[in-house]
Each structure stands twice: as C-alpha cells, then as structure tokens.
C-alpha cells in the first residue's frame, strides 16, 4: 500500500512531504534553483521553518523529494539486505533484486505529479542531475557489493555491475511510465517488477 494511503499520522506526514516537494519543484521551475530560499519554500508550503527542516535538511533534498539515497545498512533495510546476501528470499538473483528494489522504493514517498515535475526539474538543472546521479551511484555500489557477497568471488564484478545496471535502467524506465501514467495505473514498485519481467522475457530468462 502506498504511504499516501496508509491513514492516520503516517498519511498526514506523507501528504505534508508531497506538498513540500511540489512547492519546491514549482519554485525551482519558476525562479531557478538559486532563485528561492528555504524560508520562501516554508511559506509556500504553509509549514514552519522547523517543520520544513525536519522533513528536508536542504533545498536540494526538498526539490528531489528525498533527504538522501536509501542506505542498505539502515535499521529498516538491514534485515532485507541480510536476507538478500544469504540468497533469499526466492533463491534467484533476478527475482531477489526485484524484491530488494521493492523494499528500497517503500522507503520513498513518490506520487505521479511529483515524479513528472522532478523529471522536468532535472532536465533544467545540471547541478541537481549531478546530485541524483551521485546518489544513484552510491546506492548502486552498495547493491553491487551485496551481489558479490551473495554470489561469491567466481561471479565477478563485471556480472555484478551488469546485474545492477539492468536494475537501474529498469527503474528509470518504470519511473518514466509511472510519471506518465494515470491515477489508477500500477504503482511504481509494481511497474519495476513488471519491467524486470519484460527484461527477463527479452533475454529468454525465466520470469516466474
């Protein structure tokens, strides 16, 4: 279930986060990244400065919609990473990478409108594009390390990087489909799984 539908306090926090992100992205598109301050963002999003910084420690984070890349060593993901490292949960690398991606996406609050606006913002700001590329690289290196620990030294870093490269490409493809989709279309996590299955089909691998 999406965090936006969870109900109660979690739902209110998710809606506040989305409101802040959308306001930050609109300000960025209207005035440029350097054309507004965090105080102006707080006013636009109708939150206090303290609340704003509780959600996002910097303007970059607010525009991108995440304070940082997911960390596989964090308490919420450590168990998932350990299960993957141990060969689970399904015993097939492709399916287990898909499951890992699902858990990583569950740590983010992403709605279609913010996803559409973020892609527009990124194309207009090389600085932000560089930041998100750097964050992707950091996360990708963590996953490559997990794959090598799981599969053993004979698997090799080239295969590990190819596997993770496919996952990143699938995520980008799924994000594009999600951003362009309708409200009743599949959620991002489901699209990632669907696109991974398409990759497996294209290369003649087992999809179930």
pLDDT tens digits, one per residue of 43-95: 999 999 999 999 999 999 899 887 566 778 887 789 999 999 999 999 999 88
Altogether, the residues listed in the chain come to a count of 208
Tell which wins on pLDDT, 200 or 97.
97
114-163 pLDDT, tens digit each: 888 888 898 888 888 888 888 888 889 999 999 999 999 899 999 999 99
Q: What is the pLDDT of residue 65?
A: 82
Q: What is the pLDDT of residue 68?
A: 61
Neighbours of 207 (CB within 10 A): 12
Owner of token pair 């030294």: 153
Backbone φ/ψ region at 91: left (φ over 0), alpha (ψ -120 to 50), beta: left
Backbone φ/ψ region at 53: left (φ over 0), alpha (ψ -120 to 50), beta: alpha
Q: What is the pLDDT of residue 9?
A: 78
Query: Which string of DSSP letters, residue by residue, matches 47-83?
Result: --HHHHHHH-SSHHHHHHT-SS---TTSHHHHHHHHH
The lowest-confidence range among 5-9, 36-40, 91-95, 109-113 is 5-9
What distance in Å separates the CA atoms of residue 28 and residue 41, rounded to the nearest whole number? Answer: 10
21-42 pLDDT, tens digit each: 999 999 999 999 999 999 999 9
Output phi, psi for 54, to 5 deg: -65, -35
What pTM does this model have?
0.75
Q: What is the pLDDT of residue 124?
A: 85
**In the predicted model, what is the mean pLDDT of residues 102-116?**
79
């Amino acid at each position: 279930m999406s965090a936006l539908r969870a109900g109660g306090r979690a739902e209110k926090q998710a809606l506040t986060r989305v409101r802040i992100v959308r306001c930050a992205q609109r300000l960025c598109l209207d005035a440029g990244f350097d054309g507004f301050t965090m105080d102006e963002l707080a006013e636009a999003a109708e939150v206090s400065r303290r609340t704003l910084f509780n959600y996002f420690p910097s303007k970059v984070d607010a525009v991108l919609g995440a304070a940082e890349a997911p960390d596989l060593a964090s308490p919420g993901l450590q168990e998932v990473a350990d299960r993957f490292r141990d060969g689970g949960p399904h015993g097939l690398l492709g399916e287990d990478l898909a499951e890992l991606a699902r858990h990583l996406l569950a740590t983010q609050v992403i709605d279609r409108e913010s996803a559409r606006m973020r892609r527009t913002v990124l194309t207009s700001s090389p600085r932000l594009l560089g930041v998100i590329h750097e964050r992707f690289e950091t996360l990708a290196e963590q996953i490559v390390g997990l794959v090598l620990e799981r599969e053993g030294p004979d698997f090799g870093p080239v295969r590990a990087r190819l596997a993770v490269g496919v996952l990143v490409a699938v995520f980008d493809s799924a994000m594009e489909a999600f951003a362009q989709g309708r409200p009743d279309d599949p959620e991002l996590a489901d699209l990632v799984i669907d696109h991974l299955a398409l990759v497996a089909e294209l290369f003649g691998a087992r999809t179930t």
